Amino acid sequence: MDDRELQNWVERVSLDRFGIPFRHRAIFNARLRSTGGRYFTKTHHIEISPHQLAAYGPEETEKIIKHELCHYHLHLQGRGYKHRDPEFKALLKQVGAARYCKALPGARRTLPVKYLLICRSCGQTYPRKRKTDPRKYACGRCRGKLRLVEAEPRPG
């Protein structure tokens, strides 16, 4: 499938499920791996991951298209288009869009924990992948001061 076919597909889904035409550009972006699609608020264009189509087929990809169209139509209407907005969540459910896309098979796993922030007062631990300045944060449980230590490497 190429960008022209995707454009037609998005326009068709927009008319069928939302009753409103899609008047901007929809393209595939092969760099999208951790997300199924993107909506751009400045240009109103939509990008879809071709890897999702290859891995899960047209049914899952159409759910991603509906998700991005929810952002698109709500944003253009001046309504709540962000993931946390109740209007967005309600429209997702109404049109049968995916809330999240499926992880790609063979996707990179998360990085190992290298650091721990430990509360000096209550001992609460916060695992971190990146080095963090403990002076900028406080314990979420007791508001105590934190200290940074390097995590023990796991055997294996």
Active site residue 47: no
| Cα four-point dihedral sign 30, 64, 82, 105 | negative
Phi/psi for 102 (5° steps) reads -75, 150
Catalytic pick among 5, 47, 59, 68: 68
Write out the catalytic residue numbers. 68
